[in-house]
Structure 1
Amino acid sequence: MLAVIYLDNNATTRIAPAVKAAMLPYLDDEFGNPSSQSAIGARAKEALLRSRLAISDFVKASPTEIVFTSGATESNHAAILGAIEHFSGKRNRIVTTAVEHPATLRLLQSRKEVEVVLLSVDRQGRLDPAQIDAAITTNTALVSVMWANNETGVVFPVEEIARIAKQRGALFHTDAVQAIGRLPLNFRDSSIDLLSFSGHKLHAPKGIGGLLVKKGLMLPPFIIGSQERGRRGGTENVMGIAALGEAIALPSENGEIETLRNLLEELVLSGLSDCTVNGTASPRIGNTSSITFSGIDGEELLMAIEKEGIIASQSAACQSGGRKPSHVLIAMGLQEGEAKATLRFSLSRYNRREEVEEAARIIVSAARRARARNPFA
């Protein structure tokens, strides 16, 4: 069987062994409903509390500020729609960026009653906070800006942006899916009102995530019911929540991961001419690399390296499968051909130096073959 080198961790991550172990009791004897008054139900309720406390300690938030959800898409939708309802329809302007996750942009496009302002980024993927200040009006309900871009890894100055929004009377939300666990977070002391995160980017299973809601901020329920302090009804995903609490406590290996990411870039760029790493002049999370292979069909290169065991991607997993270029790269000013010639590599704690060296060798070799077949591209 072909050995796989998995470099697509911004799409999803493998479940950590410790997280898997934390899940197993809830697939066996600990199947209780946390709302039940039985002993087994009480143990399930205790499991929810343990995870809530572990997460609150990690993100430096009150346990009551955590709302468990099915993942980041639900959290983002709840934050955006909740912010609109928070102002009882008196404000309908939302300020965001052109490089947000497709799930967020599609939601905003579907809301005909909302005025959406999409802010641009520069060639390095940077956002000027002055744009935020200029875009906010008295009609602005929410500013929503991702913390770290899922395709390039570029980090936005969310605390500065959040302060601007707060000064202007608007709420601030950040999609922190790629940032949480990779960048320091003190939710309690920040100006952020709403923060989304997802378990399956943290070595927990799919189907669990959360939304941090600043204490005192009243949002309408996501789903009517009594669970999650009345914010999200429905029986809780005890196994997923237990897994998330375990995953959030995994020891950081960010320094080692960034070293490997840098090595991958160095080996690819030294082995190939006409390659560009996108966003290098910007702050980036340490696991992500977006590389443009000039003159090469990115989909062809992606298929070629997968045949040799390398798993990567061209864009966000939620929009893969089509021939449209990445909206993130187009917003950064890349031409369509350049965007289609770009691959994303994203590493995790489970990648090793020898894997990165082998991956770079395969990528360089496949790219050279592709160029040899089309020398005039």
Structure 2
Amino acid sequence: MLFQVGGQGIRPTFFEMAAAQQLPSSLRAALTYSIGVLALRRPILHKVLDYEDEFFALLMLVLETHSLRTTDASFSESLYGLRRRALKIRVQKDNARSNSGDRIHHSGLEKHQKVLSVVFMVVLPYFKSKLHSIYNKEREARLRASLWGDGDDRFDDADYLAGGGTSFVSTSSSDVEASARTRLKNRIQKIIGACYPWLHAGNEGLSFAYQLLYLLDATGFYSLGLHALGIHVCRATGQELMDTSSRISKIRSNERERLLGPPWLKAVQGALLSSMYTVLDYAQTGLIAAVFFFKMMEWWYQSAEERMSAPTVYPPPPPPPPPKIAKEGIPLPPDRTICPLCSQKRANPSALAVSGFVFCYACIFKYVSQYKRCPVTLMPATGDQIRRLFHDV
């Protein structure tokens, strides 16, 4: 066992149950991320990503079956030292007082409870994932149709007759069957698109209600699936944790004894079983290490992206050097409020863009229109380069 969350009694805390329930989703994200990184160098791994739901469901089927068989707990529950126990109500009668009382008794899981547990933990999440993907595709198709119109509208072959019967379209039986399958598929997708939000909302609402009741100690079932199966999740005792290894050894020795065939075939089967046992023994450690590695890489790349996307602050550029006054140009008056052309206080001040000097609008417009240059620097200028100022500097 990798984790042992402390607590009193056999009833797990809400945080233990929440952590055990959220571990499969984190594990799937870690595996998807790892395979995606490896697929950059090995394109053949893209096929695994194409069948991501099936790959993860098969992996969890092996892990959950092995965990329920050996520890009476799911894969994630066994990591937190939890065990599943069947709930039974025993009725005790007191002859002295002639009244009855009920006592809750926990026992080991039966075979059908283990099978149904695998169905609730693997099969139902797989179908939920597939329905969610179909719903997303249908929603994208609706959004695309609302924006661009339905581009799949075509005339039916039976209705495509023009020119009074002069044009005929021959339709084969395979085309008819293909079109019928396509219409049936589209109809099923539309039904799923209409019903899935309500089913998803009901499922999430029931999950929230059970979790809230479990948090308030109003029920002993953390989820609807556990309630339907009549299973309580309890914290394993020290003796149970010690007996787990001996139980696993006993199961594996019985499996080796049941091997049939000649000695060489038994040796091959024994080697395969040993390899499978080794993989299963270290699967917990490896998968949890993959989750932590995924979280670390997610944090690392997120911080790197933030550093790369952060805007770089550069110092403001230095101002350009002031224009040089030409020797043949008009000299500047000592008072900056005087126009160099008329030697009077500026009226409607305007600046010449090529040099930046300020004049009276009438004076500079008349000068530039006649000489096509700045009167101070003698730089070429036009009337379009005159800028009116609303505040005299």
**TM-score (structure 2 length as normaliser):** 0.17
The structure that has the greater radius of gyration is: 2
